[in-house]
Structure 1
């Protein structure tokens, strides 16, 4: 059973990779400062490793078990006292999940291996438990509210004063997006609004009339929007073959951009089809041997190469891969120095992070020769591929955007109660046999229906009415607060969007919209408008569904700010609590690799500073603790100084990294607390600390920098040893002693 959460505490989450390591450095500062104002701060472990351990507690000894902290926080998120700070976590692909399991087994946890093809009840049980941890398993549990994500004024001003590098676009650039024009999820979608509470069933009807239940029970509420769609795999294969030929003919790099983490069922399968299409000879000659060995193209080229090492045909397989790379178009690279291609690991190239990074870099990706080049970006499903093409077209015509003059595109995102969680749930299937898949209500009536063939991917999703109402209200609230236009990115020609448009029109009538500029535009048109306006220095609120929320809150921040980690992400929970997210974690693995290699962590914790300040203010409002409000206000001021003094982690060893940035935030925060007049007791408590930190600035920074340059041992990647991680992330004895004196 989940352990109880204090009713008046800020809950700080332990997650994964770089954010987790940064927590070992930053959290002791926060705990020490918060304690002076009587603000309790608790931690909960929702890391991938922690969730694996919690899922198998029944087979672990008592001292190795962990409570299900995610389930606990999911319940808390439904209560008005919720105040949760959520750091980025791994949305696990199968290779990541397998790697985490292997590490935990090496650490002595009695866990079953991930069964690719479960044959026994025990294996099927293990597979079911592991499958619940894949992909975006955390966010739908915690997000009991819609998203309000924006760049704080201090962050935006810093980007204008200290503009990050942007590539120079050429009118002759060959970079473009390739997407399907038929047979994909976008063009196959059907949608229905439920007239009453009901329980639906998903079933497959074979060509012989045999009915197989795919999902026995799908509870729905009155007003809920339910969608279903399919990917025609035959058309997908034909499309991929065409793009490989096109990339070679145009002399550009070939890349594919998917969401194999959040879309945890559909997109790994699509990724596998891309691998097959790029290496046809490999699978013609060795496909049977790979399949017999349990080596799936869905896990990427890296899995094939590593698995082939133990096969009799290993050398021939490696040669076939080399021949395929030589015969095909040049393949975009994740790491050209190490030979890691775009097709090595499905979780390496995530569309919402990789596409804006490419646009920011002149429309280039890295080629196998270690040089940048124009790229054909293949995004098979056309639902939102066009937004990237719209931005590319604008840059090709007008040149790179200028962070010094750009406007901003904040986002209001529909995500409460697992809204639009395509691919992240148990309603996605790879079809085994030809026939029909249908969604049937309790009266036996067919609501949604698709003809399918073997190998097709079919999926459904739900969007409840209450989150839609709240989403519309939040959009109006933000438009009223800012005076900026609010644009709903909805396409009337798409089945799901058409139903949402009807609801938006209905619920807008519940609000005073006089004087507000509220529009509904198809995503491509909305993207064109937004990028035209930011080029003019104007702001436009993007009001989007869940998937576009993911895409837009990386696309525009990466162009505006250089990273999405600097966004303020507030989730006003439906029942009055608050969830405060701290930015995106797409770059987290690379930062960990650098730390392990040279004891330098470039991860930027700015998102945590921003979220924490708002969390303190929320706590003050909810509890009447005036000291918490002072903590929030002074932290916000300290963050402004932090930005103006350029104390974010530098690029190279020998400069301050994440740990140094935490020291400076602590210094500026203590100084702000010491000079504020709203709480004399807090000012008195922090005055000596501010003086001591300032006096020891050089000593502390020297100690932090002195440890850099050599490899470190954390005792684990997915589950570091706490003592080793703390020692690595808190290497300044002077700073630790000064902080302890508080």
Structure 2
């Protein structure tokens, strides 16, 4: 029996899985397709690291490693739902919950002192940040809005905030002494093993990373952010925001960039509260309170300090003295600086642009904002969009074009593969990358506290990326623009490779160009306003940014995108959209038994997965499932059966019922497989006749608290009961067994 792996992840996507997976498994079984799960949730990843401390019943195998191995094989067929890319506060919260559930897990060592603590810290660090994606992404990304979604967005345009020529919203970025300006890049001539080391002013050599295996043709970069310059920059922008009377906000990615960005976030917190850290910094540090964890963690911990009240007063004084802070939740007093994982740049910046360039202020009102993005590598993209909106007004979803993406990400390409090669510099001196012969390839002069990082981009993924870009340009006829800046060291090497590999393909009649990111943004925006499509061909981080920015403007959300990863060895990875709003959805479910998560991304990924399986497994019925699911999803959109916004309407569970109904009807009506049609005729009739009863059972549970037994590790029986409250629907699905 052919197999699809459906990943067990976190938060709202996980809860939705309890409702949707039984439908998938029941329908897929009729085509001889088995749908299995693998646990790559944050809790599951944590548990898998400590089997020797747990009972047999508690243990979870290292499913992530298993899927990483599978992703290199031609039979791979993996549907990957959004997972938590854990910041340190999230990791600690998950550990605490698991300990309370009876898992004998050690505490997270904030400052490990012993070999045992260092070993525990190393295990936990494997689960932090983007621990999942680099393992599974053995291919490059093809991400686009399905025609049905784009058509629906044009027919039912989402709300866009109006823009004014007088808007004072802007982006602030360093432009010098940052990762962009300090970058050096080399192309490796032969297979080798590199070493990263720090050479102190007195000549003492400290090895930062002993072994960095590289292949011939690989691009290796090294760069650093000067922290003294960062602090000056932040102080200037805080003063600027206050002088301009706009909100101050910092936009980073402390989840994916799990080493560098939490450190930068901590500097933002310190810069905003200079008096607090001048007076109490040593006391806070001695108590294990790190600004990198955010203002929220600090405020929670100070109650146990002798000067706790004085520290709180210093925080309040800092809030009063500084500019108004952008808020995550003004009703609860949660600021932009409370939690490093609350304000993630690829979600927060598009949301701000969509909302008239506004964020929410402490008074609960929208206001113009100074968006602080310290590194200048990609900040110009957002400034260009803001300038365009200021000049031409908001975009019109009913007429605007699309910007699909081809993203370079295979084998941990570029910055997202830098985590194990990112260091906070311990002392003045130099950081250098040396090859196997001892020759220095890259070298930087650094000061204490500077953030130095290296990253790798292998040649085979670059070649595959160029091929995928040409393939998509040929399939669509849209221009393909490589977003590469010849002024950036890394990009200059990629430009040379793009120019080398493009002649391997038939590009006659195609428009394929190379532009710096800000220029490519302006080009794409001009075409968008004419209703024209433009393929953005980008590196890994811009892939992440663009596949939120443009879909949020075009569709209102990035969760409705089709995300296909053609794996380099022939398999398929199908991703289901963004999970940035997942935490709020879980909170709403627990409070009022209503899950607003939209599973449309899962529907698209599942259809693509069936289609892929039909090809490599020669399974005609899988193709029927794919085709009928596509048509059912079109009906689902036209009938507007996505979750409504509030209690009383259908939620995620109701949307799954309607998808099951429309899919059964399509299967019953199709003529390619009479036996399959017969199997679904009775189910389609049953579901249609019981529609009112099923919707009543699903909606009837709303309005009261729901117990799922845990946030990071829900109790499976409780979650199943909450997410499958319609016995009529459950009984109908059971008839397929």
- For the aligned pair, the TM-score class normalised by the smaller chain equals over 0.9
- Retained in 2: the 8 A contact 1:135–1:424? no
Q: Which residue of 1 aligns with 2:250?
A: 256
SS at match of 2:165: coil
Q: Which residue of 1 aligns with 2:324?
A: 330
Deviation at 1:422, TM superposition (A): 3.7
Q: Which residue of 2 aligns with 1:734?
A: 728
Q: Which residue of 1 aligns with 2:644?
A: 650
Distance 2:113 2:223 in 1: 30
Distance 1:396 1:421 in 2: 31
Q: Which residue of 2 aligns with 1:456?
A: 450
Matched ranges for 1:268-667 at <5 A: 268-422=262-416, 424-667=418-661
Distance 1:251 1:356 in 2: 22
1:60-84 per-residue CA deviation (whole Å, 9 max, x = no partner) reads: 1222111100000000000000000
Q: Which residue of 2 aligns with 1:51?
A: 45
Deviation at 1:120, TM superposition (A): 1.4
Deviation at 1:424, TM superposition (A): 4.8
Deviation at 1:469, TM superposition (A): 0.2
Deviation at 1:740, TM superposition (A): 1.1
SS at match of 2:437: coil
Residue segments in structure 1 that go unaligned for 5+ positions in a row: 1-5
1:188-215 per-residue CA deviation (whole Å, 9 max, x = no partner) reads: 0000000000000000000000111000
1:591-630 per-residue CA deviation (whole Å, 9 max, x = no partner) reads: 1111111111100000000000010011110111111110
- Retained in 1: the 8 A contact 2:164–2:390? yes
1:37-74 per-residue CA deviation (whole Å, 9 max, x = no partner) reads: 11111110000000000011122122211110000000
Out of 226, 230, 244, which is 2:224 matched to? 230
- Retained in 1: the 8 A contact 2:79–2:575? yes
- Retained in 1: the 8 A contact 2:418–2:454? no
Out of 18, 25, 32, which is 1:31 matched to? 25
Matched ranges for 1:67-106 at <5 A: 67-106=61-100
Deviation at 1:695, TM superposition (A): 0.5
Q: Which residue of 2 aligns with 1:246?
A: 240
Higher mean C-alpha deviation, range 549-558 or range 283-292: 283-292
1:442-487 per-residue CA deviation (whole Å, 9 max, x = no partner) reads: 1110000000000000000000000000000000000000000000
Deviation at 1:423, TM superposition (A): 6.3
CA 1:424/1:336 → structure 2, altered by over 3 Å: closer, same or farther?
farther
SS at match of 1:376: strand
- Retained in 2: the 8 A contact 1:143–1:579? yes
Residue segments in structure 2 that go unaligned for 5+ positions in a row: none
Distance 2:674 2:50 in 1: 50
- Retained in 2: the 8 A contact 1:190–1:495? yes
Deviation at 1:682, TM superposition (A): 0.7
Q: Which runs of 4+ in 1 moved over 3 A?
A: 421-424
Out of 118, 127, 135, which is 1:141 matched to? 135
- Retained in 1: the 8 A contact 2:10–2:42? yes
Distance 2:598 2:521 in 1: 28
Distance 1:423 1:652 in 2: 40
Deviation at 1:713, TM superposition (A): 1.1
Q: Which residue of 2 aligns with 1:3?
A: none
SS at match of 2:194: strand
Out of 670, 674, 682, which is 1:680 matched to? 674
Deviation at 1:427, TM superposition (A): 0.2
Distance 2:718 2:253 in 1: 33
